[in-house]
Structure 1
Amino acid sequence: MPKPSLYDMNLADLETLMRGWGQPAFRARQIYRQLYVNLAANPAAMTDLPLTLRDRLSAETSIGGLRLVRTQTSDDGLTRKALFALPDGVVVETVLMIYADRATACVSTQAGCAMGCVFCATGKLGLLRNLSPGEIVEQALWASRELRAWQGTGDRGQGTGDRGQGTDRAAGGPQDDGSRWVADAPAPVQQLGRISNLVFMGMGEPLANYDRWWESVQRLHDPQGLNMGARSMTVSTVGLAQGIRRLAGEGLPINLAISLHAPDDALRSALMPINDRFPIGDLLDAAREYIDTTGRRVSFEYVLLQGQNDQPHQALALAKLLRGHTADGANRGVPLLCHVNLIPWNPVPGAPLGRSEHARVRAFQQVLVDYGVACTVRVERGVEIAAACGQLAGANDER
């Protein structure tokens, strides 16, 4: 049997463990601080603990269960993707994106995904299993260590100009073909010190693993631990209405992003099978309930596919939908407090889909803006190493 992971224990669990070992309760707080503040990866590094306790921790527990298989980088090293193997052999991926003024970690909540969205590489895997709270938390802590180590090199992202060059510690990635939506050459990166944003947008559907995912949120938010601000965390969902309503009642105001990708049920069901269970009307009702309960804006993610969901009349239908019109065209007069994030589709091997051209993306965006819907186009990171939105598939040549 594998040793129990300290990352799967909250502070109360650690206190119970210490009492069972005949240790005072404050030892649990010391361990907790070492794990989440000092980012200790080995009990030997916990030098404020007695040697006998460090030895017992090493013998009877583990600090996490993720084994780093490979790290890939792109965007002059500012995008970094890790492939992790779990103790049972399944793999997950985590992405760290470093910007001039912030660092964002994108973590997975499941190995694989059961939702089956046709444009997503993860969905092709099917659901392998849910991740534990500790396995989710551990990814955020890896990103924190990776950022700390990267900043320790003295490289602040001045850039080499090769923003389209993807690099792998085993092999290089392809050159940019000029079709990407990229930011200007990166500005010098500040000394950030810590992860500033955390998005649950990696492999899996977070709300389908709700209890374990929410425990990880609480752990990462804990002021005695990593102390991530609730408003610095975002969860992305395909639209599990019951999970959205449950999230509305939670005490932490984390951000909500909903994958929409179509303005009508027929098209959305063809792209996202989950729409058969939660059609657009039900989904928007849940979003309204979330907005009314929390007072917070919802983001709608919309992947643009050439000739399928990127035409002007579809942009108009989407705009009317979000501005309060019903499916039959009637105006309810209650616009949603929302923002649309347009995402040019990132290539997925074997998917018979096309990427919307720049002109179509801009035209689609302009229709939304003209209709009063806040809308931006997502800047791409990590396409060359399959680290961008919808590309995470846990490819592991070593298995």
Structure 2
Amino acid sequence: MPTAAMTIPGGADPVPVPRAPTAREDGRVDLVGLNKAEMAAALVAAGVPEKQAKLRAKQVWHWIYHRGLTDFAGMTDIAKETRALLAERFVVGRPEVTLQQVSTDGTRKWLLKTDDGNEYEMVFIPDADRGTLCVSSQVGCTLNCRFCHTGTMKLVRNLTAGEIVGQVMLARDTLGEWPQPGEDLTGEARMLSNIVMMGMGEPLYNFDNVSKGLGIVMDETGLALSRRRITLSTSGVVPMMARAGAEIGVNLAVSLHAVTKDVRDEIVPINRKYGIEELLKACAAYPGANNARRITFEYVMLKDKNDSDADAHELVRLIRKYKLPAKVNLIPFNPWPGVAYECSDDDRIARFSDIIFKAGISAPVRTPRGRDIMAACGQLKSESEKLSRAELDRIAAEKQAALG
């Protein structure tokens, strides 16, 4: 897939951004991921009369995003000849599933393949009456968080808006959550009730496609998931945070994981470019953050690295200093082959949580889910490339050098 370079404000390195969707090998164009204006323009280009295109696009949009149809023949309010034209020129695609695994706790993980042969993962975590879909934004990752399995991969490419939306649609297919004729399923009635942009990749290094994809997910005439049920997680791409709040407007989670420069420089190397103080100022300025929509600080618990009483007290001090409407999500470290870190002991995690709770800040401990299928937080990695330990070390050195 051809790509263009996008430069992140503030001097971050350019990353590849896929261009607008192009025709597949069979000549047809996938409509998933096009916004309403693009869909109407595509229909005109395919031969639908311009005066009819807006209405036809509205109808197709409804069938694709509200009803979940992939077959134009079922779009019964569109004339047969127009449906035949649509089937000739377009497809309503889904990601190709290479592998689907189900954990003993019900967590599902999909290994998905793009049209150009790259692989990425998504995860669904069910609860009693709801569930959360963890969506990827990139194949690989441009960062190198040392405790994260995805960080051992090179960035292969950004996912398109269609590939991002396609993850949500595939999950609805699997869970059987498209409404039947006469049925009005809402986000409240579905198991897939929440989305977190916490899969593979850094969402703010793929801003345009993430913004466009989530716009389609939130559109009230289509997938209709409330922005209050969507969370975008960043490792701290400070120059893009205000724009994300203003243009996307979803909940914010920040992968903090440490409260001192030395430790965060080590485990979250983007800290060398955008330090903790700069990051927390951006959090304080995040549009829409308030006590009803708190910023979540993700904090992985690493034994003898970031889990002391002093670390907990410093985290409280920083949150108070910047007057942040915040909660802290404590994540027991999920190991993966070759990692140099261990999970903090249960009593140490409990003590850390207790210090923060006593300061009046919520600090729940996340229950690990999907560990047996490598679907837990920080464990995602596709097989798009298999690298030696020496190659992984070289990639880590290159990423850290780029961060300065």
Q: For this structure pair, what is the TM-score category when the shorter chain's length is used for normalisation?
A: 0.7 to 0.9
Q: Which residue is equivalent to 1:80? A: 108
* CA-to-aligned-CA distance 1:150-185 (integer Å, 9 cap, x gap): 999xxxxxxxxxxxxxxxxxxxxxxxxxxxxxxxxx
- 1:385 corresponds to 2:381: no
Q: Which residue is equivalent to 1:268? A: 264
CA contact (8 A) 1:14 1:28 kept: yes
2:256 is matched by which residue type in structure 1? L
- Which whole-Å CA distance do the structure 2 matches of 1:127 and 1:254 have between them? 25
Q: Which residue is equivalent to 1:361? A: 349
- Which whole-Å CA distance do the structure 1 matches of 2:191 and 2:32 have between them? 19
- 1:130 corresponds to 2:158: yes
- Which whole-Å CA distance do the structure 2 matches of 1:117 and 1:99 have between them? 28
CA contact (8 A) 2:68 2:178 kept: no
Q: Which residue is equivalent to 2:227? A: 230
Q: Aligned ranges for residues 60-139 of structure 1 at < 5 Å?
A: 60-64=89-93, 66-76=95-105, 78-139=106-167
Q: Aligned ranges for residues 145-294 of structure 1 at < 5 Å?
A: 145-148=173-176, 192-193=189-190, 195-250=192-247, 252-290=248-286, 294=289
CA contact (8 A) 2:330 2:364 kept: yes
Q: Which residue is equivalent to 2:328? A: 340
Tell me by how many angstroms 1:79 deviates: 1.4
Q: Which residue is equivalent to 1:29? A: 58
- Which whole-Å CA distance do the structure 2 matches of 1:337 and 1:22 have between them? 51
Structure 2: runs of 5 or more not aligned: 1-22, 181-187, 387-404
* CA-to-aligned-CA distance 1:111-167 (integer Å, 9 cap, x gap): 110111011111111211001111100001111111117999xxxxxxxxxxxxxxx
Q: Which residue is equivalent to 1:166? A: none
Root-mean-square deviation over aligned CA pairs: 2.3
- Which whole-Å CA distance do the structure 1 matches of 2:178 and 2:37 have between them? 33
Scaled by the length of structure 1, the TM-score of the pair is 0.82
Tell me by how many angstroms 1:60 deviates: 2.2
- Which whole-Å CA distance do the structure 2 matches of 1:44 and 1:99 have between them? 36
Tell me by how many angstroms 1:397 deviates: 11
CA contact (8 A) 1:35 1:41 kept: yes
Q: Could you tell me which of 46, 69, 86 is aligned with 2:75?
A: 46
2:63 is matched by which residue type in structure 1? Q
- Which whole-Å CA distance do the structure 1 matches of 2:178 and 2:165 have between them? 20
Structure 1 runs of 4+ off > 6 angstroms? 149-152
Q: Which residue is equivalent to 2:34? A: 9
- Which whole-Å CA distance do the structure 2 matches of 1:151 and 1:15 have between them? 24
* CA-to-aligned-CA distance 1:220-261 (integer Å, 9 cap, x gap): 1111110110101000000111111212323x5311000000
- Which whole-Å CA distance do the structure 1 matches of 2:73 and 2:100 have between them? 25
- Which whole-Å CA distance do the structure 2 matches of 1:42 and 1:92 have between them? 25
* CA-to-aligned-CA distance 1:77-113 (integer Å, 9 cap, x gap): x311111110111111111122112121111011110
Q: What percentage of residue pairs aligned between the two structures are identical?
A: 37
Q: Secondary structure at the match of 1:57?
A: helix
- Which whole-Å CA distance do the structure 2 matches of 1:321 and 1:384 have between them? 35
2:358 is matched by which residue type in structure 1? D
- Which whole-Å CA distance do the structure 1 matches of 2:134 and 2:368 have between them? 14
CA contact (8 A) 1:144 1:194 kept: no
Scaled by the length of structure 2, the TM-score of the pair is 0.81
The change in CA–CA distance for 1:345 and 1:354 in structure 2 (over 3 A counts) is same
Q: Which residue is equivalent to 2:395? A: none
Tell me by how many angstroms 1:358 deviates: 0.8
Tell me by how many angstroms 1:73 deviates: 0.4
Tell me by how many angstroms 1:50 deviates: 3.3
2:218 is matched by which residue type in structure 1? H
